[in-house]
A and B are shown apart, each in its own frame.
Chain A
Amino acid sequence: TQLLEQSPQFLSIQEGENLTVYCNSSSVFSSLQWYRQEPGEGPVLLVTVVTGGEVKKLKRLTFQFGDARKDSSLHITAAQPGDTGLYLCAGAGRGAGSYQLTFGKGTKLSVIP
């Protein structure tokens, strides 16, 4: 069974601070996605990383895929209250004989004005 561990589980920071969220596994993934979910809504895709060592930037968000394609990180610069939400990583890979998309349990971020 492929598992994705996200840390920290909860994060509460002041507006303007920087933060990093981690997504780790002992399994290799062919690609990794990051989603953000706001209360009362479904997750929305932020980015997909495919190549080991790949770095993608989306405005103030920077995503990195580990060289071995087992881990990923999301760094937010100068966090805004609008960044508040549940951040989920999801790894695509073969597990238990079939191809699966495995989600981490998420990091709940609160940005205080």
Chain B
Amino acid sequence: KAGVTQTPRYLIKTRGQQVTLSCSPISGHRSVSWYQQTPGQGLQFLFEYFSETQRNKGNFPGRFSGRQFSNSRSEMNVSTLELGDSALYLCASSSLPATSGIDTGELFFGEGSRLTVL
């Protein structure tokens, strides 16, 4: 079956701009989680959506937002970009909510969207 698809794979923006990243989960998966990966901080949790509802949110400023559509596709948006937002943004899908408290199932990650802010 098709894996997790993230678009775009690479993008360059300048400070102050905004960006929207897209994630299409594995067919049948209703949970989508977003992570920011940087060399210094590793993978940091942004938020998780399940059936169009945000289940959990990480410790990021309000400039970072997301949503999920009825077909489970998800988008995340970063407004007023800062240099420190340069990172690999990873999306992961799972059949159950990753933060459900149930024995954690496998997260299937996409290849990521690499954002460079100049």
Contact = CB atoms under 8 A, between A and B. Distances in A.
Interface in A16-30: 30
A92 interface: yes
Interface residues of A, number: 25
Given A42-B4, A94-B101, A98-B99, A105 B42 contact: yes
Nearest to A108: B39
Contacts of A90: 43
B111 A40 contact: yes
Interface residues of B, number: 24
Contacts of B111: 40-42
Interface of B: 4, 33, 35, 41-45, 56, 90, 92, 98-101, 103-104, 106-112
Given A30-B101, A88-B43, 9 more contacts: A40-B111, A41-B111, A42-B4, A42-B111, A45-B107, A48-B104, A50-B103, A100-B56, A105-B42
